[in-house]
């Protein structure tokens, strides 16, 4: 068959772009995984092991318990959960009972929680009794934002080091211990689901404004699983009898972990080494002692590992694949990790709206460290003019990336106008600015909303950030646009230094950058911080910095 797209010619033998995702619901996906891997270990959580078969039983009991409470088809249930077994129990339990999952973040501020609950209409909330989460959930109940609170007792899995586990409240009929759901009798028949049913409201990161609920169906999420499976299995097929052990520290409430860790690893029969939160020592134990074979992380995790004294002497031999997602990975961070431990960090690009799948680095063949790889199977990508999203640009021209495929979300919940403006000719406008080369490799320079217009030039903060990361004293940085009387806008750099590193002047920074970026891209201001603001999943966030600068401008 003649090649249709440029990137297909870059695919190695055995990998094909054409894909027909299975048209099944996520509970059917779960059942297929149980049938194939029932005897295998699925979750290792603080030393407690749960097999695929046992997990399936817990899901059915959870779903039966929710039905006994009166859950209706299509009813929204909010999950306010970190990485404990209660998350996957609840996720599949809600879907098996015919409901819709609304993901909340354990690190959401109260105002963000109220926004997501109000926007989605979820009146049932499932949480855990770890740390302050139960207290926050009870405030939502007392404030009338939910009608029922279901609490998973994490004490059944032993102590959580460094985190308090409080007692599940008793005596309030609106508060239910999650484990009582397991006492329900299984129904004779289950709610009928079709692939096009709404499965999840996955809220966008909210790095520039209020989060929006991206509507994903069973089919769009299932398509992403099939896309990842074909992309990686088409290049390096796994031995089906091999026991894969995967570090699961990325939070399941985030789209990247939901698809790549939970849904896809189930299909592979992997064992998830489940963690409540990121801890460098625990991750290194997983690698060196438990012999983890796959570790997907986010940039801040690689930055932290790079900073571990003697990291180059640790044993990473068990790892067959390491990958980064959730946010752009600075080139220097990836290069430093490879120099230190000899492992190349795979990566790519995806969004909440694409159910994570978008582009990825090939495991063999062409690799260009400053790109995000090639479009994955079934995904068509184009670069279009910034001022005319219907006009497709030529190779090498910079514009906005637009994509289409079976994994694309169905729109923003209750926001038809915003949905309509983000789709052109059947393609979703991603808001990412970049280009495509002749081999079909994609290069992203920044988010459209982050672009700075300085003296009439388009300035991309990410390109400045990548250059700043090359400075040996820099651990993290964020660049934003600030008001400039002469140029309209100019770049300001916020920097967190490596431990023990000394601050430097703006002139010294500009001198360091002189051979790396253009004069019009040079920062006009510099500020050092002990910590930089982040989203709940560890992505560096700029909205707080922009708000601070706006407040200074208004006050001045």
Number of neighbours of residue 313 by Cβ within 10 angstroms: 8
**Tens digit of pLDDT for each residue in 3-24?**
589 999 999 988 999 999 999 9
Question: Which of 447, 470, 502 is the C-terminal boundary of a domain?
Answer: 447
More confident call, 163 vs 508: 508
Q: Are residues 290 and 390 in the same domain?
A: yes
Question: Which of 412, 447, 482 is the C-terminal boundary of a domain?
Answer: 447
- Residue 108's pLDDT is 81
**Tens digit of pLDDT for each residue in 304-342?**
899 899 999 999 999 888 888 877 777 888 888 889 888
Q: Are residues 244 and 385 in the same domain?
A: yes
Q: Are residues 407 and 465 in the same domain?
A: no
- Residue 329's pLDDT is 78
In angstroms, the CA 159 to CA 163 distance is 8
Q: Are residues 106 and 235 in the same domain?
A: no
- The residues pairing with 245 across neighbouring beta strands, listed in sequence order, are 271
Q: Is residue 6 part of a domain?
A: no
Torsion region of 456: left, alpha or beta (phi above 0 gives left; psi -120 to 50 gives alpha): left
The CATH number for 341's domain is 3.40.50.12780
Torsion region of 275: left, alpha or beta (phi above 0 gives left; psi -120 to 50 gives alpha): beta
- What's the average model confidence in pLDDT over 275-279? 91
Count the alpha carbons within 13 Å of 166 in the hemisphere toward its beta carbon: 15
The CATH number for 468's domain is 3.30.300.30
Q: Are residues 144 and 286 in the same domain?
A: no
- What's the average model confidence in pLDDT over 62-90? 97
Count, in order, helices (H) and strands (E) of the chain.
Answer: 15, 28
Q: Are residues 509 and 387 in the same domain?
A: no
In angstroms, the CA 553 to CA 483 distance is 8
To the nearest whole percent, how much of the chain has pLDDT over 70? 96
DSSP 450: G
**Tokens (6 digits) for 481:** 């646009």
Question: Which of 424, 447, 470 is the C-terminal boundary of a domain?
Answer: 447
User: Given pLDDT bands bounded at 50, 70 and 90, which one contains residue 217?
Assistant: very high
Q: Are residues 121 and 176 in the same domain?
A: yes
Is the pLDDT assigned to residue 134 strictly greater than 90? yes
- Residue 246's pLDDT is 96
Give the length of the chain: 556
- What's the average model confidence in pLDDT over 258-274? 96
- Residue 539's pLDDT is 78
Measuring CA to CA, how many Å separate 486 from each of 229, 489, 490, 526? 52, 8, 9, 18
Q: Is 201 helix (H, G, I), strand (E, B) or coil?
A: strand
**Tens digit of pLDDT for each residue in 381-423?**
999 999 999 999 999 999 999 999 999 999 999 999 999 999 9
User: Given pLDDT bands bounded at 50, 70 and 90, which one contains residue 1?
Assistant: very low
User: Given pLDDT bands bounded at 50, 70 and 90, which one contains residue 442?
Assistant: very high
Q: Is residue 209 part of a domain?
A: no
Q: Are residues 367 and 480 in the same domain?
A: no
Give the lowest-confidence range in 266-270, 368-372, 382-386.
Answer: 368-372
Closest by Cα among 95, 83, 261 to 157: 83
- What's the average model confidence in pLDDT over 533-553? 83
- Residue 240's pLDDT is 67
- What's the average model confidence in pLDDT over 533-551? 83
Q: Is residue 22 part of a domain?
A: no
**Tens digit of pLDDT for each residue in 468-486?**
999 999 999 999 999 887 6
More confident call, 77 vs 343: 77
Residue 542 domain boundaries: 451-555
- What's the average model confidence in pLDDT over 287-305? 90
Q: Are residues 183 and 238 in the same domain?
A: no
- What's the average model confidence in pLDDT over 126-152? 95
Q: Are residues 491 and 460 in the same domain?
A: yes
Domain total in the chain: 3
Q: Are residues 442 and 455 in the same domain?
A: no
């Amino acid at each position: 068959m003649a090649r249709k797209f440029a990137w297909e010619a870059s695919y190695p033998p055995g990998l094909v772009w054409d894909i027909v995702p299975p048209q099944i619901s996520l509970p059917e996906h779960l059942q297929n995984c149980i049938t194939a891997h029932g005897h295998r270990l699925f979750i290792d959580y603080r030393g407690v092991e749960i097999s695929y078969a046992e997990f399936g039983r817990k899901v059915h009991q959870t779903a039966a318990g929710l039905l006994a409470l009166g859950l209706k088809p299509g009813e929204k249930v909010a999950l306010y959960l970190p990485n404990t077994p209660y998350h996957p129990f609840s996720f599949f339990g809600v879907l098996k009972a015919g409901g819709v999952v609304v993901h909340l973040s354990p690190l959401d501020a109260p105002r963000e929680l109220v926004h997501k609950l109000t926007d989605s209409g979820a009146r049932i909330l499932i949480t855990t009794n770890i740390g302050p989460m139960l207290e926050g959930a009870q405030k939502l109940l007392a404030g009338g934002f939910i009608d029922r609170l279901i609490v998973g007792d994490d004490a059944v899995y032993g102590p959580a080091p460094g985190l308090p586990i409080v007692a599940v409240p008793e005596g309030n009929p609106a508060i239910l211990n999650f484990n009582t759901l397991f006492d329900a009798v299984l129904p004779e028949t289950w709610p009928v689901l079709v692939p096009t049913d709404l499965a999840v409201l996955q809220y966008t990161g909210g790095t520039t404004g209020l989060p929006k609920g991206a509507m994903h169906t069973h089919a769009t999420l299932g398509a992403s699983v099939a896309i990842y499976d074909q992309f990686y299995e088409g290049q390096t097929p796994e031995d089906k009898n091999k026991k894969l052990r995967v570090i699961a520290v990325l939070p399941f409430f985030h789209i990247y972990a939901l698809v790549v860790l939970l849904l896809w690893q189930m299909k592979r029969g992997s064992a998830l080494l489940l963690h409540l939160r990121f801890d460098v020592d625990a991750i290194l134990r997983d690698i060196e002692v438990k012999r983890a074979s796959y570790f997907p992380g986010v940039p801040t995790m690689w930055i932290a590992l790079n900073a571990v004294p003697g990291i180059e002497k640790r044993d990473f031999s068990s790892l067959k694949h390491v990958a980064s997602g959730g946010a752009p990975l600075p080139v220097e961070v990836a290069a430093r990790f490879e120099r230190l431990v000899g492992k190349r960090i795979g990566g790519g690009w995806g969004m909440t709206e694409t159910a994570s799948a978008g582009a990825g680095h090939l495991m063999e063949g062409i690799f260009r460290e400053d790109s995000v790889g090639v479009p994955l199977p079934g995904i068509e990508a184009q670069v279009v003019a910034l001022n005319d999203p219907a006009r497709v640009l030529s190779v090498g021209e910079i514009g906005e990336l637009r994509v289409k495929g079976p994994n694309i979300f169905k729109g923003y919940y209750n926001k038809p106008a915003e949905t309509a403006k983000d789709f052109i000719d059947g393609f979703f406008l991603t808001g990412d600015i970049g280009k495509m080369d002749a081999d079909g490799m994609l290069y992203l320079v920044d988010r459209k909303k982050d672009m700075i217009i300085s003296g009439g030039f388009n300035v991309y903060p990410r390109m400045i950030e990548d250059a700043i990361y090359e400075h040996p004293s820099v651990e993290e940085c964020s660049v934003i646009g600030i008001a400039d009387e002469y140029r309209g806008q100019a770049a300001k750099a916020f920097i967190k230094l490596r431990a023990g590193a000394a601050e430097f002047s703006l002139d010294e920074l500009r001198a360091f950058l002189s051979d790396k970026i253009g004069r019009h891209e040079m920062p006009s201001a510099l500020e050092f911080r002990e910590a930089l603001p982040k989203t709940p999943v560890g992505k560096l966030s700029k909205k707080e910095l922009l708000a601070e600068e706006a407040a200074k401008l208004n006050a001045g």
